[in-house]
A and B are shown apart, each in its own frame.
Chain A
């Protein structure tokens, strides 16, 4: 029931891989959700955000940061994986009608979930703009995929080796303030900088070390202005107004 077959698993940037899994996609109901993958030889599952889905496949993009993702990067086509899918409270596009110019800001491997979001926003008649931030040129990925959707994309690299030099908050699309809502996913310092420097509302996707990934163990709790929340179940997406840093 929870079995998925690896259809492809390719390196797309430094330590970054794109894996396509075939299986039931029916539980994935919004962008920003994640899947939790059981990996042979490791006790805990590995939560990975969903980049895109179609009728029968799930695309995930992950960076090799530890033992689990290293094992994933070595998985061959045809490998069968036990995955729990449709986990987490993803991005909501049901925001006020007068918010029609969303800005999507992704940092590193925080960029993938914004891709599915961008497609959904487009489908709903909104025209999002996209800022993608990376450490350097060798870390960059998915620029073309976002552009293929017909979106304006600005790339920032910390060392200036590609796109413009600086952080996402230095991007022209960010500083010109021609947006009325922000969706973002990436490292905490980036999220904090966006929170501090944007005047509009938005949704922020967080990361935390998880136990179960489905709300049972309280391993990934955080405090918010709306009460205690579990990053895996009530998050990973929180609205700007509730966040406590």
Chain B
């Protein structure tokens, strides 16, 4: 019997499979397809202080082996997430959940992290620092080490839960940013968020997305994600959650060999709602085939 358990920032999870934020809602829709308690945990929809409708439609474009989205953080706001979504969640999910927090100012991050930290169901807080800083000329918090350090330090101070900083891949030196987050007190790093991209409708001669640009995800981004996780593993000592294009159990093993303690599965859930269930069922078989008894033993094994 192989052991798929991993320790993620002090909390042991049954397996390292975590549906990624934005691709799993609050889990309810997926619980109609299978019992989502088989998951390690899941990261719920990115949450901001105020309710957000997000960007105009079309918000979705397709590309070979992937998709581009410009949803724009549609969510009901942190208070409603707590009073409605978290309240209903125990009906279909009884493990600790990962809260995903976004913001457009340091104050907003701090407010949301402080607020969500009071909830017992929340095991980890994943802070998405890819959003533009409205006080910083629209520059994303995640594009330079100084602002990444500042935001990490600020949210770390107001929470008693593990803080995982989710990094944008749209940067020059991902390792330097990861290191800055570690220095700021982060308990973990997750990466990669989606890759800035676009498609053009050649008949209309216009961008397909109403927002012009969107984030690329799906199996096409796996090699980019692997490279960045590999680089970050060399730079930090805290656990890494690897994500980007993971579709199969073999992808999970590959990502862990690059340096990930756990993985997130994003776009695969949207094209196959059973994706995580299939990965979890397939994982022990792939482990046996590759003579892996204890999954934790392979973390960073490719280095």
Binding site for B on A (CB under 8 A): 38, 42-45, 84, 208-212, 214-223, 228, 233
| Cross-chain contact of A216 among B29, B57, B59, B63 (Cβ < 8 A) | B29
Q: Are A209 and B59 in contact (CB under 8 A)?
A: yes
Contacts of A210 in B (CB 8 A): 60
Residue of B nearest to A208 (CB): B57
Q: Are A216 and B69 in contact (CB under 8 A)?
A: no
Q: Are A43 and B22 in contact (CB under 8 A)?
A: no
- How many residues in B have their beta carbons less than 8 Å from beta carbons of A? 32
Q: Are B270 and A216 in contact (CB under 8 A)?
A: yes
| Cross-chain contact of B30 among A208, A216, A221 (Cβ < 8 A) | A216
Chain B window 30-42, contacts with chain A (Cβ cutoff 8 Å), 1 for yes, 0 for no: 1010000000000
Q: Are A214 and B67 in contact (CB under 8 A)?
A: no
Chain B's nearest CB lies how many Å from the CB of A159?
Answer: 22
Q: Is B284 interfacial (CB 8 A cutoff)?
A: no
Chain B window 46-84, contacts with chain A (Cβ cutoff 8 Å), 1 for yes, 0 for no: 000000011001111111111101010010000000000
25 A-B pairs whose Cβ atoms sit less than 8 Å apart in the complex: A38-B272, A43-B64, A43-B67, A43-B218, A43-B219, A43-B267, A44-B62, A44-B271, A208-B58, A209-B59, A209-B60, A210-B60, A211-B59, A214-B29, A214-B273, A216-B23, A216-B25, A217-B22, A219-B59, A220-B57, A221-B53, A221-B71, A223-B53, A228-B53, A233-B29
| Complex Cα gap A109–B219 (Å) | 32
Q: Are B25 and A220 in contact (CB under 8 A)?
A: no
| Complex Cα gap A178–B244 (Å) | 57
Q: Are A43 and B71 in contact (CB under 8 A)?
A: no
Instruction: Evaluate whether A217 and B57 lie within 8 angstroms (CB atoms) in the complex, with A211-B67, A233-B29 already known.
Output: no
Instruction: Evaluate whether A84 and B60 lie within 8 angstroms (CB atoms) in the complex, with A217-B69, A228-B53 already known.
Output: no
Q: Is B93 interfacial (CB 8 A cutoff)?
A: no
Contacts of B271 in A (CB 8 A): 38, 43-45, 212
Q: Is B24 interfacial (CB 8 A cutoff)?
A: yes
Q: Are A209 and B30 in contact (CB under 8 A)?
A: no
Residue of A nearest to B210 (CB): A209
| Interface residues of chain A: helix, strand, loop or mixed (majority) | loop
Q: Is B264 interfacial (CB 8 A cutoff)?
A: no
Contacts of B117 in A (CB 8 A): none
| Cross-chain contact of A221 among B22, B54, B65 (Cβ < 8 A) | B54
Chain B's nearest CB lies how many Å from the CB of A224?
Answer: 11
| Complex Cα gap A233–B22 (Å) | 16
Q: Are A43 and B23 in contact (CB under 8 A)?
A: no
Q: Is B168 interfacial (CB 8 A cutoff)?
A: no
| Complex Cα gap A14–B273 (Å) | 34
By Cβ-Cβ distance, the 9 closest A-B pairs, closest first, are A212-B270, A219-B60, A209-B58, A215-B29, A211-B60, A218-B74, A216-B25, A218-B71, A219-B59
Q: Is B269 interfacial (CB 8 A cutoff)?
A: yes
Q: Are A42 and B29 in contact (CB under 8 A)?
A: no
Instruction: Evaluate whether A217 and B270 lie within 8 angstroms (CB atoms) in the complex, with A43-B66, A43-B67 already known.
Output: yes
| Complex Cα gap A45–B267 (Å) | 12
Chain A's nearest CB lies how many Å from the CB of B236?
Answer: 31
Contacts of B32 in A (CB 8 A): 214
| Complex Cα gap A219–B60 (Å) | 6
Chain B's nearest CB lies how many Å from the CB of A59?
Answer: 24
Known: A212-B273, A214-B29, A216-B29. 8 other contacts (CB 8 A): A43-B66, A43-B267, A209-B61, A212-B270, A216-B270, A217-B69, A221-B54, A221-B74
Q: Are A211 and B29 in contact (CB under 8 A)?
A: no
Contacts of B62 in A (CB 8 A): 42-44
Chain B window 89-121, contacts with chain A (Cβ cutoff 8 Å), 1 for yes, 0 for no: 000000000000000000000000000000000
Contacts of A38 in B (CB 8 A): 271-272
Contacts of A228 in B (CB 8 A): 53, 74
| Cross-chain contact of B60 among A44, A215, A233 (Cβ < 8 A) | A44
Contacts of B272 in A (CB 8 A): 38
Chain A's nearest CB lies how many Å from the CB of B233?
Answer: 29
| Complex Cα gap A226–B269 (Å) | 28
Most buried by B among A212, A215, A217, A220: A217
Contacts of B58 in A (CB 8 A): 208-209
Residue of B nearest to A82 (CB): B272
Instruction: Evaluate whether A218 and B65 lie within 8 angstroms (CB atoms) in the complex, with A43-B271, A210-B60 already known.
Output: no
Chain A's nearest CB lies how many Å from the CB of B13?
Answer: 21
